[in-house]
């Protein structure tokens, strides 16, 4: 929920909304001693793209290149659990360029916007 990715508009919209919801919830409940942790995953090797639907409603049925090159799911779980134990409010987990993009976007958002626009197939 931090960077919009081409061809994933609905997915990105949902993730950005979830991040905003939990950021607001964190602010509302922290004074009660309730901790809220959000996970910001990069590409993780799962079957999400296999189960994704194409525009016509049929199954995509394949692992896309980004996910195939993503972080191992067991390693991902280890990073998340370490963050939980430390009480980290937001855990960024992954190992590809998308993780560097989180930092780059903070300081040079135009660069990230340009790079993601170049990913669009014309």
Q: Which residues are catalytic?
A: 11
Residue 6 contacts residue 66 (beta carbons within 8 Å): no
User: How far apart (Å, rounded) are the C-alpha atoms in residues 75 and 23?
Assistant: 25
Strand ranges in 7-77 using DSSP code E only, listed in sequence order: 38-41
User: How far apart (Å, rounded) are the C-alpha atoms in residues 83 and 112?
Assistant: 26
Q: Identify the bridge partners of residue 44 per DSSP, sorted by sequence position.
A: 71
User: How far apart (Å, rounded) are the C-alpha atoms in residues 57 and 75?
Assistant: 32
């Amino acid at each position: 929920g931090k960077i919009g990715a081409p061809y994933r508009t609905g997915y990105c919209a949902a993730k950005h909304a979830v991040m905003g919801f939990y950021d607001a919830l964190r602010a509302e409940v922290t004074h009660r001693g309730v901790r809220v942790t959000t996970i910001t995953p990069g590409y993780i090797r799962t079957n999400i793209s296999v189960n994704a639907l194409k525009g016509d409603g049929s199954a995509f049925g394949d692992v896309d290149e980004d996910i195939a090159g993503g972080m191992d799911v067991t390693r991902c779980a280890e990073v998340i659990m370490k963050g939980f134990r430390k009480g980290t409010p937001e855990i960024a987990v992954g190992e590809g360029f998308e993780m560097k993009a989180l930092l780059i976007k903070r300081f040079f958002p135009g660069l990230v916007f340009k790079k993601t626009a170049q990913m669009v197939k014309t």
